[in-house]
């Protein structure tokens, strides 16, 4: 092993910064959060930090907000991903066609992705403003979109779709460009119409890209909370709180680090279980392509 290391020392040296980053900023925080979840650490109590076993987990599952947190998290992830992909597929197909100024339209599509979340939040807050918002000006209404529990989730999902659409479109566009044009020509010769070519050529060959991109989007959406936090802060009440926003509130607003860590561990376990199931389904579907 030592001889192998000496032979490839330069390669190991090159990956050392990445390895240190993963250990310091990824692996250590995970294990530290697991440990903190078994303590009563609170920045408001100097005598805290003692081991309390699974007390934080019991309190979490007894919390009346827990079912809402789980439901909101699922709604946030599934709603955002489905909306993004329903729009991204036709948009990517359109941008893959020959058209005037195609490069311009492709570049324009990337604007939401590169827009900072804070700037994006300010834009959408102005759009949804109840008094002078752009949306109310168009509709001629005075709806407080982000303060009404009946409209807040559609408003958040629309903003999330706008933000995440470029990533899904870019990935699908890359997948479309990898499909041989000969297959479409053969389908056309065999008498397939546009819908049949899309159903039997585009979707099957795009399926690996869809599955991988969907997994990435789901994990990112589950762990990110900037859009919700900037627009609503998890309110009104806990109507739009998800696991990440609740973790932040519990840990850095209520200063209950033990309880917040317990929420983060449960959130991580939910996502881990989902990933394992998703990968199993992915392998099954990939073998059928």
Highest mean pLDDT among 70-74, 175-179, 209-213: 70-74
CA separation (Å) from 97 to 90, 105, 172, 174, 175? 11, 12, 13, 13, 14
Query: CA angle at residue 130 from 125 to 131, to 5 degrees?
Result: 110
Question: Which band of pLDDT confidence, cut at 50, 70 and 90, is reported for residue 5?
Answer: low
- pLDDT for residue 72 is more than 90: yes
Do 6 and 95 share a domain, yes or no? no
Nearest to 271 by CA among 77, 84, 82, 85: 77
Do 161 and 269 share a domain, yes or no? yes
The mean per-residue pLDDT over the stretch 212-222 comes to: 88
**For the purposes of burial, counting CB atoms within 10 Å of the CB of 161, is it exposed (0-12), middle (13-18) or buried (19 or more)?**
buried
Total structural domains within the chain: 2
Do 10 and 109 share a domain, yes or no? no
Distance CA 5, CA 7 (A): 5
pLDDT one-digit tens code per residue, 220-266: 888 888 889 888 888 777 889 999 999 999 988 889 999 999 999 99
Residues 6+ away with beta carbon under 8 Å from 208 = 175, 286, 289
Do 29 and 96 share a domain, yes or no? no
- pLDDT for residue 287 is more than 70: no
Do 89 and 218 share a domain, yes or no? yes
Residue 40 lies in a domain: no
Give yes or no for a contact between 153 and 128, defined as CB atoms under 8 angstroms apart.
Answer: no
Question: Which band of pLDDT confidence, cut at 50, 70 and 90, is reported for residue 102?
Answer: confident
Residue 142 lies in a domain: yes
pLDDT one-digit tens code per residue, 110-123: 888 888 888 888 89
The mean per-residue pLDDT over the stretch 185-214 comes to: 86
Residue 49 lies in a domain: no
Here the tokens at position 138 are 């168009």
Do 77 and 217 share a domain, yes or no? yes
- Listed in order, strand segments (DSSP E) in the chain are none
Q: Identify the residue whose tokens are 């949804």.
A: 128
Do 30 and 142 share a domain, yes or no? no
Distance CA 192, CA 153 (A): 41
- State the DSSP code for 256: B
Residue 205 lies in a domain: yes
Domain that holds residue 6: 1-35
Do 100 and 15 share a domain, yes or no? no
- pLDDT for residue 289 is more than 70: no
Residue 230 lies in a domain: yes
The mean per-residue pLDDT over the stretch 43-52 comes to: 86
pLDDT one-digit tens code per residue, 121-162: 889 989 998 888 888 888 888 888 888 888 899 999 999 999
Do 221 and 107 share a domain, yes or no? yes
């Amino acid at each position: 092993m030592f001889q192998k290391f000496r032979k490839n020392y330069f390669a190991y040296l090159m990956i050392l910064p990445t390895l240190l980053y993963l250990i310091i900023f990824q692996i250590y925080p995970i294990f530290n959060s697991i440990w903190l979840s078994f303590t009563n650490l609170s920045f408001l109590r100097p005598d805290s930090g003692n081991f309390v076993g699974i007390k934080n987990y019991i309190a979490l599952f007894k919390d009346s907000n827990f079912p809402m947190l789980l439901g909101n998290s699922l709604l946030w992830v599934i709603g955002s991903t489905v909306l993004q992909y329903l729009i991204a597929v036709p948009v990517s197909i359109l941008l893959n066609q020959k058209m005037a100024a195609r490069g311009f339209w492709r570049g324009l599509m990337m604007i939401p992705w590169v827009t900072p979340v804070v700037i994006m939040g300010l834009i959408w807050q102005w759009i949804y403003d109840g008094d002078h918002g752009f949306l109310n000006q168009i509709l001629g209404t005075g709806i407080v979109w982000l303060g009404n529990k009946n409209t807040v989730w559609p408003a958040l999902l629309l903003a999330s779709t706008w933000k995440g659409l470029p990533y899904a479109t870019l990935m699908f566009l890359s997948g479309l460009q990898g499909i041989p044009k000969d297959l479409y020509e053969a389908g056309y010769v065999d008498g397939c119409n546009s819908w049949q070519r899309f159903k039997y050529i585009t979707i099957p060959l795009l399926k690996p890209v869809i599955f991988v991109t969907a997994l990435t989007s789901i994990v990112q959406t589950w762990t990110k909370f900037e859009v919700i936090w900037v627009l609503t802060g998890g309110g009104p009440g806990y109507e739009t709180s998800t696991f990440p926003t609740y973790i932040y509130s519990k840990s850095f607003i209520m200063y209950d680090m033990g309880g917040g860590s317990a929420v983060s561990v449960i959130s991580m376990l939910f996502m881990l279980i989902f990933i394992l199931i998703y990968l199993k389904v992915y392998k099954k579907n990939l073998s059928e392509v």
